[in-house]
Structure 1
Amino acid sequence: MTDCGGKAILAFVPYIFSLLEISSRPTTGTLPSYLVKAALRYACSEAQLFRADQLKPKFQEVTMGLFRHSASGHDTAWRAFKFIGILVLLLLLPACAIGRQALDLADLAEEVKHSVVNLSTTQVIRMERGHPGMPQDNPLRDFFGDEFFERFFGGLPERERRANALGSGFIISSDGLILTNHHVVARATEIKVRLENDKEYDAKLVGSDPQTDLALIRVKPDKDFPKAARLGNSNDTRVGSGVMAVGNPFGLGHTVTSGIVSAKGRIIGAGPYDDFLQTDAAINPGNSGGPLYNMDGEVIGINTAIVAQGQGIGFAIPINLAVELLPQLKKGKVIRGWLGVMIQDLNKELADSLGIKTTEGVLVSDVVTDAPAAKAGLKRGDVIVQVNGREVKEAHALSRMIAGTPPGSKVDITVIRNGDTKTIPVTLGTLPDSTAERERQEGQQPEEKWGMTVQNLTPELAQRLGLESDEKGVVVVQVVPDSPAAQSGLQRGDLIKEINRKPVETLSDFNNLIQQSGKDSLLLLVRRGAGTLYIVLKK
């Protein structure tokens, strides 16, 4: 989109040329009024001034006065030319900037609205069997057990509840592909897509990636199907650049908000590959999956998350990450490279204790048995400083770098070990799909069965939650409404330290203990704030 100041200057070219023409020959006459009026009328209309009528008489008065009192015409005309040029910059361009900005937002909203879609999903939730007049938390039920009541009173058939949710998305191809968030369509049994003209389509899930919260859905397009959104380059986005968010907040379809890019590369604890754009454009529930546009009408992000306690703090997945994963999403899922190490950022205290002069690098805190790293000879205490010659400065960067490398690739890992630098060749494996494995074994994911999502405690999360850097456990990052976790009082931000009196230090511990429990209840030891408490989850 053309810069406002540049367009205003270009608009005044005919006017300036008319002055140059007059200044090149002596004259004692005045500048023809029709020429001044025509030039100003053209300039003001092209620059799109909202207050042009107030500016035109001033320019006419100054110009006519200067040339009317000219003696030789030449010197005065040249002085007039310079004077008017300065006047244009001082008076006209600020007004132009205000008017042009407002008009640009309106034009941009009109241009992009057709490729933005509203999503509504339906999920069928199977409820456990109950008994008339006997709630789940009745102590008699706990004492006698379900078998007693089923034998004497009979059980009710399994019930179903339909849960509806709203979200947003945007069209990325003419064959009906739409990009959105994974959490918008996860476990949905029905997906409806509504266009700006209220036309509806049924959609099917093509592929999704919980790790980056991206999903691809498809509708069957017709002849009236809108054109796809233009995808930009999020790497080129600068902090302070103007942006526009379009989406479906609280079901208010095709709502437009604007703001700026507040920051780049934000890590918010949503997953291992966090790399968010931060914006102050208003984002609310229902905006998830919708596009974040730059002022050129290109999608640079997918609106995903907000800080509920704050104002003007929203986060969008960079579009470059989505474009990188699109080929795999079209195949149904994302396959990532795997090194098989537990890692953490290197701070000054750790660097001093390891005898390293820099804090740039990633410390290996553990190596998974039989993983590619272990087979290649990486050890606990190694500090990874390079991958294939590219510098590694922090843990999230290493995670993204390895995950983005195809399995089977050979990479050179440069480490510092006991003060010496060495390069170790490693053939990457495939990141284990533990979710799929659990689904094959149990029919559903344990976290979903209990209604919670957890992740490893990273140094960034520990700092945000006010925990010590050496604290162990997994953090609750989501609690599903009406689930056993929600009914027990488990909260987002709780740190799970034990399951059934066994310690939990990592996500692997959590998954193993969940699978081993084999019970209809879980006893959790949870740290919340400065204290700890026990919480019982019941199915």
Structure 2
Amino acid sequence: MKQIVIITCIGAVCIQGAYALESVFKNDDTSTTVNHAVVGIYALVTNSNKEVNAYYAQKQRESSSGSGVIMSAKGGIVTAYHVVRGADVITVTTYDKKEYEAVVTGFDEFCDIATLKVKSGMPVESFLSFESSENIRPGHRVILAGSPLGLAGSFTAGIVSAVNRVGVGNGAVNFIQFDAAANGGNSGGPLLDERGNVLGIITAKYRYSAGIALAIPSDLVKQTIDQIVKRTPNRHASCGMYVTEMNQELRMLYPGLPAQGVFVSGVAKGSPAQKNGIEFGCVVDAADAVPVRTFYDLFSVMRNKSAGDTVTIGYRNRRGEPVQASVVAAERSIRERFDPWNFFRIHLGVDVSEREIAGTNRFVVRQILAPEMTKYAYRFQEGDVLYRIRPGGVYAVYESPVDTEQLSYLLNSSIIFDDSLLYLDAVIGRPDDTPRFHKRVTFEVPMRSISF
């Protein structure tokens, strides 16, 4: 009996060993080719970006690291723009640990794509080709290559979890979602098929959730690179409205919403949408006669538009009346923000107004729109004063918002975990309370609005 058990265990070990040695690539040489075509990138920021308005001063990084892909025999490199954003010195490290100085030759901040050129001396042993991302489907096997945490030549494998993932970030990219392990330093590296072709460029990992990472699809990467090479930058179109997909919370907040469409949760001041009567609480149900039910429906129309193009928006106003508007799109601005009033309404369920208290401008809860939202434990009462805010982030400090611009900045700084979560501390109290009786409340709310 013991002999049978021993033979079974040895057999199991042999089978497991044979499986472990099987390559994730179709060809065993592919890993070498990929390894020689993927580089590590180290970007150093030495100059501070000083702006007149301190509220909008950008937080400067001392350094960042990521990966990149050699995409041609001439040594051109593509990476994620956020890896090299604002860098004064960029160092590229090849598989054999040799370092070369590089410069940015072009970028698209909205698509998060940048191209680099090594100044001189880098031999090109291999480069990778792009495979169309059009036929990618959930369940397809994918491989990541790059330098996570500085560990060059690392590979991880997984599957495609979803495609056309639009409800993330600024709404300019239809991401590929995958479950392969991605870590700091993978950004800018390739998402590969089993033949070593590039299906996308890795751009983000959800730090708040395990097994969720995103890549920019190769078709969009190729289109962006082509525009950079031809020096014809994409003037991304924007109507200036923020939308949220319908959900149960919205229907509790606003009974009587139409069955189909996306909810307008904010409109930029002076935007094309505002000029055409679109406002908070409207529901967009069509774009260029295409029915709109999800983010992707609206994205599929807007991605083919440039600034100056006209898009016909069908929507229902706050009285439920159908309206058609011919909206001339503006050029999207990286500074785009919607006003804080709409932000409080859609994410916190309260209406806020400005009021002078003891000679100082303050923000006061004017009305509770949705008592049901107290399940998030930020128990507002009408008349509460927002005395101080500490935005999300390890080193954040409390500030007392005294004007709309500062409040907008503090709210924007509180959107963390790759734009997926609003987190901030607030100190609130009654107008006649002394600081001793002020109370601290914590906001932790999923973000579900993107701009178009």
TM-score normalized by structure 1? 0.55
Tell me, in whole angstroms, the C-alpha distance in 1 between the residues paired with 2:335 and 2:192. 35
C-alpha deviation, 1:334, in angstroms: 5.0
Are 1:245 and 2:172 matched, yes or no? Answer: no
Map of 2:327 onto structure 1 = 426
Tell me, in whole angstroms, the C-alpha distance in 1 between the residues paired with 2:107 and 2:303. 16
Map of 2:116 onto structure 1 = 217
Superposed, 1:321-340 pairs within 5 Å as 321-330=220-229, 331=231, 335-340=235-240
Secondary structure class of the residue paired with 2:152: coil
C-alpha deviation, 1:239, in angstroms: 1.5
Q: Which structure ranks higher in relative contact order (CA pairs < 8 Å, sequence separation ≥ 6)?
A: 2
Question: 1:255 is aligned with what amino acid?
Answer: S
Are 1:111 and 2:33 matched, yes or no? Answer: yes
Unaligned runs of 5+ in 1: 1-95, 129-160, 436-455, 480-485, 491-497, 512-523, 535-539
Pick the aligned partner of 1:277 from 158, 164, 176. 176
Secondary structure class of the residue paired with 2:32: helix
Map of 2:189 onto structure 1 = 290
Query: Are residues 124 and 367 of structure 1, via their aligned partners in 2, closer, same or farther at CA, if it must alter by over 3 Å?
Result: closer
Question: 1:389 is aligned with what amino acid?
Answer: A
Tell me, in whole angstroms, the C-alpha distance in 2 between the residues paired with 1:423 and 1:503. 32
Contact 1:274 1:396 in 2 (8 A): no
Superposed, 1:394-433 pairs within 5 Å as 394-395=294-295, 398=298, 401-402=301-302, 404-417=304-317, 418-433=319-334
Question: 1:430 is aligned with what amino acid?
Answer: E
Please give the root-mean-square deviation of Cα atoms over the aligned residues, in Å.
Answer: 4.6
Tell me, in whole angstroms, the C-alpha distance in 1 between the residues paired with 2:75 and 2:344. 39
Contact 1:501 1:525 in 2 (8 A): no
The answer to which of 393-402 and 334-343 deviates more is: 393-402
Unaligned runs of 5+ in 2: 1-17, 51-59, 337-342, 350-374, 381-385, 413-422, 428-438, 444-452
Pick the aligned partner of 1:261 from 157, 160, 176. 160
Tell me, in whole angstroms, the C-alpha distance in 2 between the residues paired with 1:388 and 1:363. 18
Tell me, in whole angstroms, the C-alpha distance in 2 between the residues paired with 1:489 and 1:369. 29
Map of 1:532 onto structure 2 = 441
TM-score normalized by structure 2? 0.64
Are 1:347 and 2:261 matched, yes or no? Answer: no
More strand by share: 2
Pick the aligned partner of 2:92 from 172, 193, 217. 193
Contact 1:120 1:166 in 2 (8 A): yes
Superposed, 1:299-310 pairs within 5 Å as 299-308=198-207
More helix by share: 1
Question: 1:416 is aligned with what amino acid?
Answer: R
Contact 1:387 1:411 in 2 (8 A): yes
Map of 2:292 onto structure 1 = 392
C-alpha deviation, 1:119, in angstroms: 1.0
Contact 1:123 1:188 in 2 (8 A): yes
TM-superposition CA deviations, 1:425-473 (whole Å, max 9, x none): 22112223549xxxxxxxxxxxxxxxxxxxx7897999xxx84899999
Question: 1:532 is aligned with what amino acid?
Answer: V
TM-superposition CA deviations, 1:134-163 (whole Å, max 9, x none): xxxxxxxxxxxxxxxxxxxxxxxxxxx994
Tell me, in whole angstroms, the C-alpha distance in 2 between the residues paired with 1:415 and 1:389. 11
Are 1:371 and 2:267 matched, yes or no? Answer: no
TM-superposition CA deviations, 1:110-150 (whole Å, max 9, x none): 2322221111222225699xxxxxxxxxxxxxxxxxxxxxx
Query: Are residues 434 and 242 of structure 1, via their aligned partners in 2, closer, same or farther at CA, if it must alter by over 3 Å?
Result: closer
Question: 1:429 is aligned with what amino acid?
Answer: A
Question: 1:112 is aligned with what amino acid?
Answer: V
C-alpha deviation, 1:423, in angstroms: 2.9
Tell me, in whole angstroms, the C-alpha distance in 2 between the residues paired with 1:377 and 1:310. 38
TM-superposition CA deviations, 1:62-119 (whole Å, max 9, x none): xxxxxxxxxxxxxxxxxxxxxxxxxxxxxxxxxx999875563633312322221111
Map of 2:45 onto structure 1 = 123
Query: Are residues 470 and 163 of structure 1, via their aligned partners in 2, closer, same or farther at CA, if it must alter by over 3 Å?
Result: same
Are 1:176 and 2:85 matched, yes or no? Answer: no
Question: 1:423 is aligned with what amino acid?
Answer: Q
Question: 2:215 is aligned with what amino acid?
Answer: A
Contact 1:272 1:399 in 2 (8 A): yes
Tell me, in whole angstroms, the C-alpha distance in 2 between the residues paired with 1:391 and 1:408. 22
Map of 1:66 onto structure 2 = none
C-alpha deviation, 1:208, in angstroms: 3.1
C-alpha deviation, 1:322, in angstroms: 2.3
TM-superposition CA deviations, 1:286-344 (whole Å, max 9, x none): 11111010113221122233344655443322223323333444549653112122433
Tell me, in whole angstroms, the C-alpha distance in 2 between the residues paired with 1:259 and 1:459. 36
Superposed, 1:36-47 pairs within 5 Å as none
Question: 2:305 is aligned with what amino acid?
Answer: T
C-alpha deviation, 1:224, in angstroms: 3.5
Are 1:229 and 2:128 matched, yes or no? Answer: yes
Secondary structure class of the residue paired with 2:26: helix
Map of 2:436 onto structure 1 = none
Which of the pair has more CA radius of gyration?
1
Question: 1:393 is aligned with what amino acid?
Answer: R
Contact 1:351 1:357 in 2 (8 A): no
Tell me, in whole angstroms, the C-alpha distance in 2 between the residues paired with 1:177 and 1:318. 19
Secondary structure class of the residue paired with 1:106: coil
Query: Are residues 390 and 103 of structure 1, via their aligned partners in 2, closer, same or farther at CA, if it must alter by over 3 Å?
Result: closer
C-alpha deviation, 1:245, in angstroms: 0.8
C-alpha deviation, 1:218, in angstroms: 2.0
Query: Are residues 102 and 182 of structure 1, via their aligned partners in 2, closer, same or farther at CA, if it must alter by over 3 Å?
Result: closer
TM-superposition CA deviations, 1:336-395 (whole Å, max 9, x none): 11212243323357569564551x312234544442223334354432112112232234
Tell me, in whole angstroms, the C-alpha distance in 1 between the residues paired with 2:404 and 2:275. 28
Q: How many aligned positions are there? A: 358
Question: 2:190 is aligned with what amino acid?
Answer: P
C-alpha deviation, 1:267, in angstroms: 6.1
Contact 2:166 2:299 in 1 (8 A): no
The answer to which of 293-302 and 218-227 deviates more is: 218-227
Map of 1:382 onto structure 2 = 282
C-alpha deviation, 1:191, in angstroms: 0.7
C-alpha deviation, 1:168, in angstroms: 0.4
Secondary structure class of the residue paired with 1:236: coil
Secondary structure class of the residue paired with 2:137: coil
Query: Are residues 309 and 109 of structure 1, via their aligned partners in 2, closer, same or farther at CA, if it must alter by over 3 Å?
Result: same
Map of 2:12 onto structure 1 = none
